[in-house]
């Protein structure tokens, strides 16, 4: 019907022929085609259809996948109310699918939405297609323009046209957060209250949102008949406004809060059916943490422990303490939030839960009314880092104060992880988080015992338990800093408990946690006075599958690699050929390790490279970067090596080669003289003489056994050479190293064949030449349009990977890492 016309013309014809009674002129993000009701006022205006348009005869599933990727990439569903239907059309046909049938796809965990929706070859495109094909078969309405003209018009009239009338969106586990984000912009400003004052008293907007959600709207838009169905929430909706009970705010009377504009309030909520669907009500209350602001989540620990890890942690507790542990032991979650860590426990008479916020206490009381297996009298507000144990319920005090009962107490927690510093502070781009983990009772009393670990809230929990609830057992989730970080040495000496068992899982499986690092579950016996040294940890992947074990060590009896490299640093060296940043010696900080022409400004040491410390410097660079940073090894520490590397000339040659051709060697001739060119002018057919032949001269002296390394500050390099001022070493290059040189040689030759080639170009300059930079971000592009270059740089990287595998065993042999 519309064969042979362009996409813009097709959209215009479809609008005229099928949607003439609607407004199709408004553009919403990158969505091809949108349909709105025709009306003069934009107040309460809602889209009726989002559609993908294609010329030609297209596969329906393919069109819908592209539309879904377009919506997901821009998170359009967070910025505008979703329509009742999604659509897709080409020159021959039009298809519709209810939005609610596919909306779950937008809440997939760990899905990469940052791809080009029109690229149908990506793995993400195929994943979405596989995911929705069955849904489309069951829920899609397909009409051909010519053959199904009457049916198509009837469908549009009965479904699209009436969507604004009967399309109230049901609230469920997938959309209550996007609705909150819109509520935050529309409803929160019309609530007649001083938010700053409320926040000081621990009351946040999330409590008002929950009050709005949990009302019976009686299927009317009039808010005067709205009736709360959960009166025990911290804030409830009554008489067209909000009420906070006097018990929650410790005052003589209930607090009442009005709404400034009932018209705006009603216009917002008319789009949604309240209360939420019954099967999701408990889930939404339990997941209050998802609508708590980030700063409060970090400080108060309002983070939800994924159900699979709750179940696994309870299995480990049962395996260690015995199958009757719930009857034989008492459990206290002193950072309980809304209590999800306690789900699945059966003996409510032995369970205690405390949390910083009264609002969370109310949520747990509400959950008890709906079947949660807890006792209201055992749920209480308590600030574990400040309050005296005298404030605890008498039953719990009796346990803590009795030496024998205390041995049967398990402190079972996922404590807050916030710290007073973060990565930006360390790198000089941010400020300390004032008051996050400082100024409380525990921080002040145990400052000496905590050492530098005092900046972490979770270590403050651990030290108070250790010192004030002796002989209790601890079962906690946390990062692994307390086991591995050199900043936690003092803490480890003072936290005296035996680590009985541990498993680790990817941090990304926890909501709102970013980064590739492990989170561990620890079982400590506080009755056993022991300093942590090492343990074998069980490893589980994101699906909960056991994938092996790993040795975790404190290495407190060993110095770190940064102390080793500083021995060879000479800030007064006369001939400096570059600078190497020496970041904190663990895998997570390897991204900051680089070599450049100028000394950086981050708060790290910078090695001044010269002829006398080049070998030591490239060893440092190579052992840290020859293995990828994975979530499992994120906190592993690089160590001061043992002897042996001094005379391993093949290892040294491998490290020099690896460093010369690695992407984090960012030497550039644009900043200074490039001393790092690994070839001569003749070898690469350079158009002019190089400004420096330092590296090829250095390599020549290595091969000829002419290189002498002075042993003043470097005397540890050759401990067996007593009283000598220098040592001569003969170098050799392995087969793998030579393969890297060969691949690099081809790349350099190709570059120097270019008309505008710079004779002094470094590898970094060559990459920039072919890949260019993004004009908006000024970052180097990841790819090049030059196919020959792409092939040559690919060959170099492949050879470099083989060389990395060759270096890896030496890292463990010389104990730069402990296996």
CATH number of 302-553: 3.40.50.12420
Query: What burial letters (b/e) apply to 447-483, b meaning 16+ CB within 10 Å?
Result: eebbbebbbbbbbbbbbbbbbebbbbbbbbbbbbbbb
**pTM of the prediction?**
0.68
Which pLDDT score is estimated for 437? 61
372 Cβ neighbours under 8 A, 6+ residues apart: 339, 343, 364
Q: How far apart are CA 309 and CA 313, in angstroms?
A: 6
Q: How far apart are CA 415 and CA 522, in angstroms?
A: 12
Q: How far apart are CA 366 and CA 376, in angstroms?
A: 9
8 Å CB contact between 226 and 237: yes
Strand order in the sheet with 255-257: 235-238, 241-244, 255-257
8 Å CB contact between 418 and 298: yes
Which pLDDT score is estimated for 554? 95
Phi/psi region, residue 67 (left: phi>0; alpha: psi -120 to 50; beta: rest), is alpha
Task: Give the DSSP letter of residue 193.
Answer: S
725 Cβ neighbours under 8 A, 6+ residues apart: 710, 711, 712
Question: Residue 741: CA atoms inside 13 Å, Cβ hemisphere, count?
Answer: 18
Longest CA span, the chain:
101
- The residue extents of the domains of the chain are 7-167, 176-286, 302-553, 561-813
Q: How far apart are CA 87 and CA 145, in angstroms?
A: 14
At residue 53's C-alpha, the angle toward residues 49 and 54, to 5°, is 160
Q: What is the pLDDT of residues 556-580, one digit of tens each?
A: 999 999 999 999 999 998 899 999 9
| Strand positions, DSSP E, 99-188 | 141-144, 169-170
SS3 605: strand
675 Cβ neighbours under 8 A, 6+ residues apart: 577, 578, 667, 692, 694, 695
Which pLDDT score is estimated for 231? 84
Residue ranges for the chain with pLDDT beneath 50: 41-43, 165-166, 297-298, 301-302, 420-436, 710-726
Q: What separation in angstroms does the CA of 618 have from each of 331, 604, 746?
A: 52, 18, 23
């Amino acid at each position: 019907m519309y064969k042979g016309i362009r996409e813009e013309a097709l959209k215009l014809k479809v609008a005229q022929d099928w949607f003439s009674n609607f407004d199709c002129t408004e553009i919403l993000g990158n969505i091809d085609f949108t349909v709105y009701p025709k009306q003069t006022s934009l107040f309460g205006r809602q889209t009726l259809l989002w559609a993908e348009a294609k010329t030609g005869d297209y596969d329906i599933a393919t069109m819908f996948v592209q539309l879904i990727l377009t919506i997901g990439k821009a998170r359009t569903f967070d910025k505008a109310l979703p329509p009742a239907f999604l659509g897709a059309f080409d020159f021959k046909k039009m298809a519709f699918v209810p939005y609610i049938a596919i909306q779950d796809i937008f809440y997939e965990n760990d899905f990469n939405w940052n791809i080009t929706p029109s690229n149908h070859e990506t793995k993400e495109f195929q994943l979405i297609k596989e995911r929705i094909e069955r849904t489309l078969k069951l829920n899609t309405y397909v009409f051909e323009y010519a053959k199904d003209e009457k049916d198509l018009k009837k469908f549009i009239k009965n479904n699209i046209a009436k969507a604004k009338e009967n399309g109230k969106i049901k609230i469920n586990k997938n959309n209550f957060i996007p609705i909150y984000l819109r509520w935050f912009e529309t409803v929160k400003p019309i609530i007649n209250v001083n938010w700053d004052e409320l926040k000081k008293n621990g009351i946040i907007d999330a409590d008002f949102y929950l009050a709005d959600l949990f009302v019976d709207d009686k299927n009317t838009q009039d808010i005067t008949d709205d009736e709360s169905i959960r009166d025990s929430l911290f804030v409830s909706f009554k008489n067209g406004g909000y009420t906070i009970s006097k018990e929650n705010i410790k005052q003589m009377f209930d607090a009442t809060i009005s709404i400034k504009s009932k018209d705006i309030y009603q216009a917002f909520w008319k789009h949604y059916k309240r209360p939420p669907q019954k099967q999701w009500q408990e889930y939404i209350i339990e997941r209050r943490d998802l609508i708590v602001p980030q700063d409060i989540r970090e400080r108060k620990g309002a983070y939800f422990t994924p159900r699979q890890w709750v179940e696994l942690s309870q299995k480990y507790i049962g395996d260690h303490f015995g199958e009757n542990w719930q009857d034989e032991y008492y459990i206290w979650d002193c950072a309980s939030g809304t209590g999800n860590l306690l789900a699945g426990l059966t003996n409510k008479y032995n369970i205690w839960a405390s949390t910083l916020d009264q609002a969370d206490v109310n949520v747990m009381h509400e959950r008890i009314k709906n079947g949660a297996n807890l006792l209201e009298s055992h749920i209480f507000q308590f600030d574990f880092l400040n309050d005296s144990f005298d404030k605890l319920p008498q039953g719990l005090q009796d346990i803590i104060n009795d030496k024998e009962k205390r041995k049967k107490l398990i402190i079972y927690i996922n404590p807050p992880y916030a710290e007073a510093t973060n990565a930006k502070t360390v790198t000089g781009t941010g400020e300390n988080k004032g008051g996050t983990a400082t100024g409380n009772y525990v921080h002040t009393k145990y400052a000496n015992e905590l050492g530098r670990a005092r900046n972490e809230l979770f270590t403050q929990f651990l030290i108070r338990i250790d010192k004030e609830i002796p002989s209790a057992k601890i079962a906690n989730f946390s990062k692994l800093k307390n086991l591995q970080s050199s900043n936690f040495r003092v803490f480890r000496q003072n936290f005296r408990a035996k680590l009985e068992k541990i498993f680790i899982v990817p941090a990304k499986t926890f909501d709102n946690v970013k980064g590739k690092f492990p989170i561990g579950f620890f079982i400590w016996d506080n009755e056993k006075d022991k300093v942590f040294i090492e343990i074998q940890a069980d490893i589980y992947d994101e699906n909960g599958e056991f994938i092996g074990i790993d040795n975790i060590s404190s290495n407190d009896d060993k110095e770190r690699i940064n102390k080793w490299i500083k021995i060879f640093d000479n800030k007064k060296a006369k001939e400096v050929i570059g600078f190497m940043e020496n970041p904190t010696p663990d895998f997570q900080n390897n991204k900051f390790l680089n070599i450049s022409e100028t000394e950086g400004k981050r708060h790290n040491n910078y090695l001044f490279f010269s002829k006398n410390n080049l070998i030591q410097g490239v060893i440092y660079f190579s052992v840290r970067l020859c293995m990828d940073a994975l979530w499992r090894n994120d906190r592993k520490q690089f160590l001061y090596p043992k002897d042996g590397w001094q005379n391993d000339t093949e290892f040294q040659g491998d490290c020099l080669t690896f460093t010369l051709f690695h992407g984090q060697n960012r030497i550039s001739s644009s900043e200074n003289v490039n001393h790092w060119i690994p070839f001569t002018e003749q070898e690469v057919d350079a158009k002019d003489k190089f400004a420096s032949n330092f590296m090829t001269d250095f390599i020549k002296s290595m091969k000829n056994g002419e290189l002498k390394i002075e042993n003043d500050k470097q005397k540890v390099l050759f401990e067996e050479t007593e009283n000598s001022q220098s040592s001569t070493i003969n170098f050799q290059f392995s087969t793998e190293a030579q393969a890297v040189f060969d691949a690099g040689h081809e790349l350099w030759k190709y570059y120097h064949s270019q008309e505008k080639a710079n004779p002094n170009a470094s590898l970094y300059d060559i990459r920039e030449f072919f890949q260019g930079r993004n004009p908006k971000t000024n970052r180097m592009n990841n790819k090049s349009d030059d196919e020959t270059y792409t092939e040559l740089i690919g060959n170099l990287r492949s050879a470099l990977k083989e060389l990395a595998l060759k270096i890896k065993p030496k890292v463990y042999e010389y104990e730069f890492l402990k296996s």
